[in-house]
């Protein structure tokens, strides 16, 4: 596993970790979670000749900084990518992180080869309360909530960008029905892979199956 580093453009403290070499894959964590729980998945994907970059949300320095938009969070992602010399990548995320990935594709279309959604957020947000403390990031949760509430809806899919949905069959927070509905809305470019028995934290609990789904699709792509 690689250590978390902090990139501070314009005073924004954005945590990230990078591992491997090859085509770039970006992973963004879910609401209120840090990037550590995606470490095993990142390591597994990196072993298959990908450069995997995990990017978290900026750290608010005070109450005045605890407000952001989805566009702001998308900008944080591309700023870290630029810092690392990554000019294009598959950009993905877990639940809320996937919504940020969708915003990146909308705002920075030329930097996104495709979008990867590890669980698809629906119109109505369902809260996940069974979070192990070691992966919780309460410091950024208020900022993330403000971004989601200000947006009013999950970001749309960017035109012509392929989308890989990976979803746990037992996920009650981002249920499989959300991914299926998304595929119906754009069957020509949304592919769905199901992780049997996977709950909401399937990217951490079902690393092998999730990693294989990513590797298999991107090798084909």
What is the extent of the structural domain holding 114?
5-220
What is the C-alpha separation between 211 and 193, in angstroms, rounded? 11
**Cα–Cα dist 92/24, whole Å:** 11
Q: How far is Cα 35 from Cα 58, in angstroms, rounded to an integer?
A: 12
Total count of residues recorded for the chain: 221
**pLDDT single digits (tens) 60-118:** 776 556 778 999 999 999 999 999 999 999 999 999 999 999 999 999 999 999 999 99
139: domain CATH number is 3.40.50.1820
CA distance 32 to 44: 23
What's the pLDDT at 63?
59
**Total number of domains constituting the chain:** 1
- Res 1: pLDDT: 58
**Residue among 93, 62, 57 nearest 75 (CA):** 57
Percent of the chain whose predicted confidence (pLDDT) is above 90: 78
pLDDT the model gives residue 65: 65
pLDDT for 64: 57
Whose tokens are 């509905």? That residue is: 181
pLDDT at residue 60 in the model: 76
Per-residue pLDDT at 127: 74
Residue (of 68, 158, 175) closest to 110 by Cα position: 158
Query: pLDDT tens digits, residue range 141-185?
Result: 889 988 988 888 899 999 999 999 999 999 999 999 999 999 999
Whether 164 contacts 217, CB under 8 Å: yes
Residue 200: which pLDDT band, with cuts at 50, 70 and 90?
very high
Tokens read off for 101: 């990935």
Give the residue from 22, 58, 18 showing the smallest Cα distance to 38. Answer: 18
| Average pLDDT of span 1-7 | 87
pLDDT at 186 over 90: yes
CA distances from 79 to 26, 55, 57, 194, 209 (A): 12, 10, 12, 32, 30
DSSP state, residue 73: H
Residues 6+ positions from 159 with CB-CB distance below 8 Å: 109
| pLDDT tens column, 108-149 | 999 999 999 999 999 876 777 778 889 998 888 889 988 988
Predicted pLDDT at 131: 80
The confidence score (pLDDT) of residue 121 equals: 94
pLDDT at 57: 94
Contact of 116 with 191, CB cutoff 8 Å: no
What pLDDT score was predicted for residue 10?
87
């Amino acid at each position: 596993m690689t250590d978390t580093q902090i990139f501070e453009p314009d005073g924004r403290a954005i945590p990230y970790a990078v591992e491997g070499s090859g085509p770039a894959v970006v992973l963004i964590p879910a609401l209120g979670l840090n990037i550590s729980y995606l470490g095993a998945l990142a390591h597994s994907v990196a072993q298959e000749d990908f450069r995997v970059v995990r990017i978290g949300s900026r750290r608010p320095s005070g109450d005045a900084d605890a407000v952001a938009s989805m566009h702001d969070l998308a900008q944080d992602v591309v700023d870290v990518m630029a810092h690392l010399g990554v000019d294009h990548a598959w950009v993905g995320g877990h639940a809320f992180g996937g919504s940020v990935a969708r915003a990146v594709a909308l705002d920075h279309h030329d930097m996104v080869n495709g979008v990867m959604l590890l669980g698809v957020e629906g119109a109505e947000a369902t809260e996940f309360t069974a979070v192990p403390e070691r992966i919780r990031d309460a410091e950024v949760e208020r900022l993330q909530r403000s971004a989601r509430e200000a947006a009013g809806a999950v970001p749309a899919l960017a035109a012509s960008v392929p989308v890989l949905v990976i979803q746990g069959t037992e996920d009650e927070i981002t249920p499989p029905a959300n991914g299926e509905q998304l595929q119906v809305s754009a069957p020509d470019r949304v592919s769905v892979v199901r992780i049997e028995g996977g709950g909401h934290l399937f990217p951490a609990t079902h690393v092998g199956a999730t990693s294989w789904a990513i590797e298999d699709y991107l090798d084909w792509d």
